[in-house]
Amino acid sequence: MTDLTCKLLIIGAGPGGYVCAIRAGQLGIDTIVVDEAAPGGTCLNIGCIPSKALIHAAEEFHRIATVADGPLGISAAQPSLDLAKTVAWKDGIVTRLTGGVAGLMKRAGARFVEGRARFIDGKTISVSKGEEVLEIRAEHVVIASGSAPVELPFLPFGGDILSSTEALSLTELPKSLAVIGGGYIGLELGTAFAKMGSKVTVVEATDRILPTYDKALTTPVADHLSTLGVTVMTDTTAQGFEAGRLATDKGRIDAEKVLVTVGRRPRTHGIGVEELALTLDGPFIRIDHTCQTSMRGIYAIGDVTGDPMLAHRAMAQGELVAEHVAGHAVEWDKRAIPAVCFTDPEIVTCGALPGEVEGTKASDFPFLANGRAMTCAREDGFVRVVYRESDRAVVGLQAVGAGVSELSAAFSLAIEMGACLDDIGATIHAHPTQSEALQEACLRALGHALHI
């Protein structure tokens, strides 16, 4: 006998799942959310939020530790770092946010059921928690179970071999850290540990770090890693770990801990997706323009549907599904999804890169000529605009520089609203701010940049 019934059942309370639940509740849809962990998913519990907290703490420590070597005329006593206290502060933020998410879902009228979900059929889910098992029957089901770190068979997680989850919970700073994988997760965390005082070595199998980004954007990051004392080994593969040494095809590396960040996989194993015979794209669940799978009434959102694996993409999909189930005429047609790499300097990309769309050109403006960047003593990087020559429509925006993550909203808004070079060039930008580089990049494309 079915224990509970609802109109909408969501498997996973991560960013996609909880936003779907909140929006569904707002629309009057009887909703149940199932997750075996605290609401918030990977992002709030062991991903985006805790990593950014650690990155901020590392930056503050590094700033104080190196201020005497800078041009500002400031001297300070040698600082010390209590990593256990830093982690406790980070955990406090996570607790506040996950509690807030639970409260928002409850206020919207969504019910939360703790436990592990598994499909019995396309309309029925079993939820197990310890010895207790209950069944939930729903008209519509959303798979929002997220993703998990990829494990290397010769470097299984445990002990000194860390995933990003364990790295964010260390209470003692490792003297040396090897990071396998030069993508955004490895470099974000590797940079943080380097700033806190670890000797960091990055091992990347391809010929450069951040291989999914174009080289112009990654060069300032590579240069700054060098100033932090981070060793980067490209065209290098890890082979094993023993007695504090990581073996690679180019020799051995001293490493007290090894952080493996070689990608993420969809978390679908164990929930019965295989039995449903849903159509897949590789390991990911294929969806249509309403995020519906190949089985009517079953939807999938977020990381289980493939790249880009971004929390804000999952959130947007969750909102869309809730509105679709409520009968609204909506479909997935996002022209641009911003992506931020919280390295040092930060990278923001949105829309098309140079050369990706026929008939486009690119123009950039360096922070070397930006007054705000100068006053912050961080002149590395630039803002770049990609535009269509025929009508000057902006189809892509990218930037690399200190703090440029906050430009991501302006980038996505410009593309989503169909702005052209003239629109941005004619918009008054506050002075002195880094955002002026966006206006100047557009003015430069129009042939009349003012400050270069």
The residues carrying an active-site annotation are 431
Paired sense of beta strands 298-300 and 132-143, if any: parallel
Task: Decide: 190 and 197 in contact? Cβ < 8 Å.
Answer: no
Buried b (16+ CB within 10 A) or exposed e, 286-314: ebeebbbbeeeebbbbbbbbbeebbbbbb
Task: Decide: 239 and 248 in contact? Cβ < 8 Å.
Answer: yes
Gap between the Cα atoms of 243 and 139, Å rounded: 54
- DSSP calls for 190-237: HHHHHHHT-EEEEE-SSSSSSTTS-HHHHHHHHHHHHHTT-EEE-S--
Which pairs count as long-range contacts for 24-30, CB under 8 Å and 24+ apart, including other chains? 24/108, 24/110, 24/322, 24/325, 24/326, 25/105, 25/107, 25/108, 25/109, 25/110, 26/108, 26/322, 27/322, 27/323, 27/326, 28/109, 28/326, 29/322, 29/325, 29/326, 30/6, 30/109
Gap between the Cα atoms of 424 and 451, Å rounded: 16
Task: Decide: 207 and 182 in contact? Cβ < 8 Å.
Answer: no
* Amino acid occupying residue 28: G
Task: Decide: 305 and 291 in contact? Cβ < 8 Å.
Answer: yes
Q: H helices within 114-178, ranges in order?
A: 164-167
Q: Is the dihedral of CA 441, 397, 376, 221 positive or negative?
A: negative
Task: Decide: 285 and 300 in contact? Cβ < 8 Å.
Answer: yes
Gap between the Cα atoms of 421 and 414, Å rounded: 10
Gap between the Cα atoms of 225 and 220, Å rounded: 9
